[in-house]
Amino acid sequence: MSLRKYISNKTIAALAVIVTVFANTSAFAQEAAAGAAAANKPVDMFPIYKSAAFYTMLFLLLCLFIAIVGKAITVYELTREAQDKPAGINWNTVNGVLFVLFLIVGLYGVYFEYTVHGHMILPDAASEHGAKIDQMFNITLILTTIVFIGTHIVLFLFSYFYKNSGKRKAYYYPHNNALERIWTIVPALVLTVLVLMGFLTWRSIFYKIEDPNNKPLSIEITSQQFVWTIRYPGADGVVGLKNYKLITGTNALGMDFKDKNNLDDQQADEMVIPVNKPVRLILTSKDVLHSFYMPHFRIQLNTVPGMTSYFEFTPTITTVDMQTKVNDPAFKFLFYCSKICGSGHYNMQKVVRVVSQAEYDAWVVKQPKFINNDLRKQFDLPIVPEAGAPASAPADSTAKPAKDSSAVAMNKPALKK
C-alpha cells in the first residue's frame, strides 16, 4: 500500500473531523442562542446550554485525540511494513499483557472491596435464625471466593501464556472424559452440601415447633401505600379478626369489633419487642404488594393483599447492645419496604426497638387501643367515657397463654351487652 496515498487519506479524515467539530460548535452556539432567546422562564438556560456544549466539545476533543492516536499507530505500522521490518505492535502481546494487568489490578480491587466495602455491610444478625443464615453466607462466600479467584487467575493467565506467538501450533485436545467427569462431580458434590445445609436452615426457619413455655408474641403488620400499621394483640395475646370490606376512614385496618379479640388490640408507632422472646409476625397488605424487610434480623417476606403470611423469629440483641457493638449511639434497627410499590417506595420505614422484657412491659401498656367511641357506635357497642387512660390496664400480654382470650373477654363485662 502506498504510504503517500494513506497520508492523503489521513489528512482528509482529520479535516473531516475538524469540520465536524466546527459544525457542531456552531450548531451548539446557535442552539444556545436560541435557548437564550426563548428563555422566558425565570431559569436562565444559557449557561446550562453552554455547559452542555462544553462537555460535548470535551468529548469530541477526546474522540479527535483517539482518532489521531489511532492514525499515528496505523502510520507507524505501515511504515514498518513498508520498510519490511517485523510488525510494529504485536497486539496479541498487548492484549495478553493487559489481561495479566487486569488480573493483578482486579485482584487488588477485589481485596479492596472485601475489606473496605465489606466492612460497610450489615452487622451480625440480631436474631436466632439470622445467625444460621450468616453462617451459611460465610461458608458460601468462602467457597465462591475461592472459585472466583481461582478461575479468574486461570482464565487470564491462560490468556497470557497461550497467546499467539506465530511459532507454535495449538495442542489438539478435544476431550478428556476423566477430567470432565471430575469437574461435573466436584461441583455437584459441593452444591449438594450447600443445598442440604440451605434446606435444613430453610426448614428450621419456616417450620418452628412451638415451645409451650415460651409462646410467641404476635404482632400484625399491615402495609399500604406508603405506610405501615403495627398492631399489638393487647392483653389477650390474640390479634383480632379483620375484614377489608370494613375499612373506612376511622377503621383503617377494617377490624371487626364484633370479635372480642379486637377490643384490646393496640396500635404502635414503632415496633418494640422483648429480647430473646419469639415474635410471630402476621403480615398483610391493603393495596398492592409490599415487602416487609428487616435486614438486621435477616427477615423478609412479601405482604400480599388477600393473603396472610407469617414469619417467626427471636431477637437476640437489644438496640442498646447493638449500639455499643457497632460503636454508633445513633444506631437503629429498622424495617422498610423492599418490593416496588409506587412513588413513595423509597421512604416507607419504621423503627424497631429491641428491649428487655421489663422495658417492653412498661412500654406496651402505654400504647393506645384501636377502639374508640366512634367505632363503638358503629359496631353497636356500649360507649365508654373517654377517661384518657385505658380503663383496665392490660396485664402482661406475654405472660398469658394465647388461647386465654375468652377469659380476658370475661374480665371486661362492661364491654358486653
Scan residues 58-87 and list those touching other proteins (CB under 8 A): 59, 63, 66, 70, 73-74
d(C-alpha 101, C-alpha 337), whole Å: 42
* Cell (9 digits) for 308: 396472610
Among 10, 80, 163, 412, which residue sits at the site for other proteins (rule: CB under 8 A)? 163
Q: Is 323 in the site for other proteins (CB under 8 A)?
A: no
d(C-alpha 115, C-alpha 112), whole Å: 5
d(C-alpha 184, C-alpha 56), whole Å: 52
Among 7, 34, 98, 362, which residue sits at the site for other proteins (rule: CB under 8 A)? 98
Coil, strand or helix: which one is 272? strand
Closest distance to other proteins from the beta carbon of 412 (Å)? 29
Binding to other proteins, residues 373-392 (CB under 8 A): none
Place of cell 426497638: 353
Report which of 17, 1, 15, 168 is spatially closest to residue 77, judged by C-alpha positions: 1
What is the DSSP pairing of strand 333-337 with strand 349-355? antiparallel
Q: Between 325 and 403, whose beta carbon lies closer to other proteins?
A: 325
| Binding track over 118-157 against other proteins, x by CB under 8 A | x-xxx-------x-xx--xx--xx-xx--xx--xx-xx--
Q: Is 54 in the site for other proteins (CB under 8 A)?
A: no
Query: Cβ distance 317 to 333 under 8 Å?
Result: no
Q: Is 19 in the site for other proteins (CB under 8 A)?
A: no
The 10 Å Cβ neighbour count of residue 262 is 25
Closest distance to other proteins from the beta carbon of 25 (Å)? 18
Among 28, 32, 126, 159, which residue sits at the site for other proteins (rule: CB under 8 A)? 159
Query: Cβ distance 28 to 53 under 8 Å?
Result: yes
Binding to other proteins, residues 201-260 (CB under 8 A): 201-203, 205-207, 224-225, 244-245, 247-249, 254
Stretch that binds other proteins, among 211-219, 274-282, 303-311, 314-322 (CB under 8 A): 303-311
Stretch that binds other proteins, among 299-307, 368-376, 381-389, 406-414 (CB under 8 A): 299-307
- Which one-letter amino acid corresponds to residue 111? Y
How large is the C-alpha radius of gyration of the chain? 34
d(C-alpha 129, C-alpha 61), whole Å: 57
Closest distance to other proteins from the beta carbon of 305 (Å)? 5
Stretch that binds other proteins, among 184-192, 265-273, 395-403, 407-415 (CB under 8 A): 184-192
